[in-house]
Amino acid sequence: MQEKDNLRDVSNLVSDIKHKKIFTSVDIALRTEDLLENLISQQQWKSAKELMNLVILRIRFIRDALPTEATATNIMRHILKIIREEYESASKKKGEGQSLHQLVTSHNNDRLDYSESLSSLKANLLDHLGEYKVEIESSSENIAAQASEHIHMDEMIMTVGKSNTVEKFLKNAAKDRNFKVVVAEGAPFYHGHTMATSLAKSGIQTIVIPDSAIFAMMSRVNKVIIGTHTVLANGGLRAASGIHAVGLAAKQFSVPVMVLSHMYKFTPMYVVSNNNDTFNICASPADIIPQSAGKILNNVEVYNPVFDYVPPELVTLFVSHQGGNAPSYVYRLLSELYHQDDYDI
């Protein structure tokens, strides 16, 4: 019963994500940050090890309940790294007044297993969480501020469906650039129409095309700019269904593909045989074959996958609030975001 009470916060988070009460990745990230802030400030824990165990318990809970949702678990993995760093920093300061003999003869196990109680740890972690929250909130603006470096006059840009980050990026570039945007509608959800309407209202020349016309239009495009759901450890993407076809068409015509992504979308997960079943989810096929199709529905099986896997060789550049990086550099970014011991929880 006590364990259920302790997990009520993360259970509410999972419920809100499942029922679409919070939908965008930024909202999920901020909600997760608030959860961790409350956990650190209000939960009863005496050492960094106890706190890390509480965070790990929540990571496993979310992973089992929402296997395709990486944002919340990535935020928590990053906080685990912060806990380790703050603990080690506080431990070093505590040992500054010791003699060389005391430092050499002291036991390092207490520091390595994070079990020692440090009075300054909670305050330091809350300060760091405040800074991290500001970083999350300003991430979209920082990505959009780089737009003029990547979009030039009279270019034709292609995007697919709707991405809030891509939308801000294009609108920011339109302040001092004239260019055209080709928006693939992103069937069967057709979010591209919403994206095109928003861009057109901002004065951007916008063309909506069906997904079947992507290959035909690609020869006229200067670059492809897309968002993504998750950036995998090998530099590949778990992106909206149809993005893989766009990447293949871009490669055929040597068109660069830029992926705009927040850092909390970078995950140490790979696409391997033991998690293929949880890599994708399927939406209702009603958008593809309506109920009015009649008896034929009894004789067919229709799959409507939500995500595509896009291999790293189809991606040219990742743009985050830290700047641009090639897919081959993702492993380095992961080492800065997460501790190696927290990759596989």
Q: How does pLDDT run across 69-90, given as a tens digit for each residue?
A: 899 999 999 999 999 998 888 7
Q: Specify the domain boundaries for CATH 3.40.50.10470 within the chain.
A: 145-342
The widest CA-to-CA distance across the chain, in whole angstroms, is 84
Please give the pLDDT value at position 2. Answer: 43
Q: Which CATH number does 2-141 carry? A: 1.20.120.420
Q: Specify the domain boundaries for CATH 1.20.120.420 within the chain.
A: 2-141
CATH match of 145-342 with 3.40.50.10470: yes
Alpha carbon separation from 294 to 285, 286, 287, 302, 329 (Å, rounded): 14, 12, 15, 14, 51
What number of H helices and E strands is found in the chain? 15, 10
Q: What share of the chain is helix, strand, coil (3-state, %, to 5)?
A: 55, 10, 30
Burial of 262 (0-12, 13-18, 19+ CB in 10 A): buried
Please give the pLDDT value at position 3. Answer: 46
- Spatial separation of the C-alpha atoms in residues 280 and 305, rounded to whole Å: 7
> Do residues 330 and 234 touch, judged by C-beta distance below 8 A?
yes
Burial of 206 (0-12, 13-18, 19+ CB in 10 A): buried
Q: What is the pLDDT along the chain (345 residues), one digit of tens a residue?
A: 344 446 888 999 999 999 889 889 999 999 999 999 999 998 888 889 999 999 999 999 999 898 888 999 999 999 999 999 988 887 776 655 555 555 455 444 444 578 787 888 889 999 999 999 999 999 999 999 999 999 999 999 999 999 999 999 999 999 999 999 999 999 888 899 999 999 999 999 999 999 999 999 999 999 999 999 999 999 999 999 899 999 999 999 999 999 999 999 999 988 764 555 567 788 888 777 776 667 777 788 888 888 999 999 999 999 999 999 999 999 999 999 999 999 988
Please give the pLDDT value at position 230. Answer: 93
237-240/307-310 β-pairing:
antiparallel
Please give the pLDDT value at position 302. Answer: 82
Please give the pLDDT value at position 211. Answer: 93
pTM of structure: 0.87
Write out the H or E segment, with its range, that includes residue 166: helix 164-173
Please give the pLDDT value at position 238. Answer: 92
The tens digit of pLDDT for each residue in 237-255 reads: 999 989 999 999 999 999 9
Residue type, 283: A
Q: Is 144 helix (H, G, I), strand (E, B) or coil?
A: helix
Please give the pLDDT value at position 292. Answer: 66
Phi, psi dihedrals of residue 180, rounded to the nearest 5°: -110, 150
Q: How many residues appear in the chain?
A: 345
Please give the pLDDT value at position 98. Answer: 56
Please give the pLDDT value at position 104. Answer: 54
